[in-house]
Amino acid sequence: MRSTSEPPSGVQGPLREARAEPLRPPLTRGQWIALVAVMVFVLVYPHVFTSPYARHILVMIFIYGLAAQGWNVIAGYCGQISLGQAVFFGIGAYSAAFLYAKWGISPWVGMAVGVALSVLVALFIGLPTFRLRGHYFAIATLVIGEIGYTLVANWEFVGGATGVWIPIDRDSPWTTLQFHESKLPNYYLALGFLAAGTAIVAWLERSKIGLYFRAIREDPDAARSLGVNITAYKLVALSISAAFTSIAGSQIAQYVLVIDPENTFLFLISILIVLMTMLGGLGTLWGPIVGAGVLFPLSELTRVWFGGTGGAQDLMIYGALILLISVFWPGGLVSLVRRLVGR
Amino acid sequence: MTSEIIIQTIVSGLLMGFIYALVAAGLSLIFGLMEIVNFAHGEFMMLSMYLAFSLWVGFGLDPIVSLPVCVMLMFLVGVATHYGIIRHILHAPMLVQITATFGLAIFLRSLAQFIWTPNYFSIKDPIVTGRLEVVGIFIGVPQIVASAGCLLAFAALWLFINRTETGMALQATSQDREAASLMGIRTDRIYALGWGIGAACVAVAGVLVSNYYYIFPEVGVIFALIAYVTVAMGGFGSILGALVAGVLIGLVEALGGLLIDPAYKYPIIFSLYLVIVIVRPRGIFGRY
């Protein structure tokens, strides 16, 4: 498999850079320093910036970063462009919120249920659709997302279009995952999940499974001819991706306490997840996190500058940026930094 | 449920189907040429509707009168999109093409909201109005005009592609870009033309639909979603496939809404798409 370090001539554009390293070498000294610096920063940050708003932004980055990391597994490493990630996000959110609101079951259990359901749905979606290639697969996942949205919006048992309101609880924050005194526990919880997800992806990158994923991305026919069971590994990738996204959804539910189809199953959520990963760098370990880390403050800033006027200038800038980044900077921020650092 | 209601539903489904077919034909043409899915296709439609609306408000021009102007303007928008954006991402990975056109879609949608506010508008008292009664079945005149116009435009598109030299050049480029350029076809211009025609197709549909449809920034979203499904169902790059799939979707949407539940008409279409591509992974008439 070492031979994949030379990408096939048909491969163009930014993915080429990511492909040049099938097995990553051990971290260099500079990378260790950077890693430790990032860790120190995120651990110290909430104690320096104590305002709820400053912490809130990072919490959102961590939660959506996990969802983006999940998409990175299926799209970045395995090359299957799923535009229906909101389904998994929604399943996670509804599992945690609904089980708690209805029967008082702890969101921890809800989160596990969400993961189980999401993986099941991923298998159910993947088995038939992984026969499809390119745009057919992308559009299949897009319409599956839309079907999910309509089904939930019309399913009165889970609240229909109104969604689920999670009852406030102040007595046992670590059971209900509601932290009303301070956002600090939310912060560390989201950080912990993101770190765990990223560690899993880092392990995947170096593992045989990760190599299979990349082989499938590079050339599915060649991978198959070498004996890789491509459908099985695509299913593994989608399941991992679904689990990550579902956990992110469960966290969002307990964090914002009101969920409806609009803030969980909407196509825009799927696209947000895609954009964060693209912006940071697809198929790179840090890309999704960097992307979330840039996109969230950016959308907050544009909203603060222009928001409230109803003129949608914030979205205009947002759309234009996405467009410009895709056209002129398609490898994402991570590849740019790599080029600047010179490796 | 009387047979009249069912026939009524079939007729309105057919009428809607021709509109879907034309919207999808533009998308399919672009895809056939350069294997790019334009995720801003619905926003082109939305823009053409606002153009018709603005010409009506500003100059009192009826959509039927302003149709040629709007179509020409949208043709230019399509050409500009090619030169400004698409040319730079022609060889980029599929994902980059998706996000680039999606970014354009968000930009155009919020631009529309910025210029025209998020309110719903409609064109009052257009020339084509009222409804016809044929053997107990009522059909709105604007709907008939829109469908007939779309069908005509579709026929014109088909003739252009198959009966003119430029159309042949278009087909040649779509089959083999390098061979076409070796034969002296300026493929970059052909691409620009393809984008122009794609936008013009969707503009015909948009302007005619604006006679009876609400105009708002998100109006293109569902049309575009259906167009993706139509194109994929008919087979990417197949114009004729777009017609068949468009009519099929129009019928399924109308009958599904009648027989099952209007709330589920889109999921029914989407499920139909899934079934078709799972059975035939390249769509009904697909080459790709």
Contact A316 B277 (CB under 8 A): no
How close does chain B come to A84, measured CA to CA in Å? 13
**What does the pLDDT look like over A298-320, one tens digit per residue?**
877 777 777 655 667 777 877 88
Tell me what the mean pLDDT of segment B87-115 comes to.
87
Contact partners, residue A131, CB within 8 Å, separation at least 6? B278, B281
Judged by a CB distance cut-off of 8 A, whether residue A151 touches chain B is yes
Strands B137-140 and B131-134 come out as antiparallel
As a whole-number percent, the residues of chain B with pLDDT over 90 amount to 41
pTM over 0.95: no
d(CA B100, CA B105): 9
Contact list, A310 vs chain B (CB under 8 Å) = 113, 117-118
Among residues B199, B203, B180, B204, the alpha carbon closest in space to that of B79 is found at B199
By the 10 Å C-beta count (0-12 exposed, 13-18 middle, 19+ buried), B163 is classed as exposed
Which residues 123-142 of chain B have a CB within 8 Å of chain A? none
- Tokens 């064109």 map to which residue? B123
Contact A327 B85 (CB under 8 A): yes
Contacts of the segment B55-60: beta carbons below 8 A, 24+ positions apart: B56/B123
Contact B277 A135 (CB under 8 A): no
Which residues 52-81 of chain A have a CB within 8 Å of chain B? 75, 81
**For the complex shown, is ipTM > 0.85?**
no
> pLDDT grade, residue A5 (50/70/90)?
very low
Contact A312 B104 (CB under 8 A): no
Tell me what the mean pLDDT of segment A103-121 comes to.
93
Tell me what the mean pLDDT of segment A14-39 comes to.
68
Which residues 258-277 of chain A have a CB within 8 Å of chain B? 271, 274-275
Contact A135 B236 (CB under 8 A): yes
Helix (H, G, I), strand (E, B) or coil at B285: coil
Tell me what the mean pLDDT of segment B263-270 comes to.
87
d(CA B51, CA A201): 48
d(CA A16, CA B92): 11
Q: Is the pLDDT of residue B127 over 60?
A: yes
Which amino acid, one-letter code, is at A55? Answer: R
Nearest CA in chain B to A315: B110
Contact A316 B111 (CB under 8 A): yes
The winner for highest mean pLDDT among A113-122, A223-232, B112-121 is A113-122
- Which of A143, A151, A271 is closest, CB to CB, to B273? A143
* pLDDT value at residue B136: 76
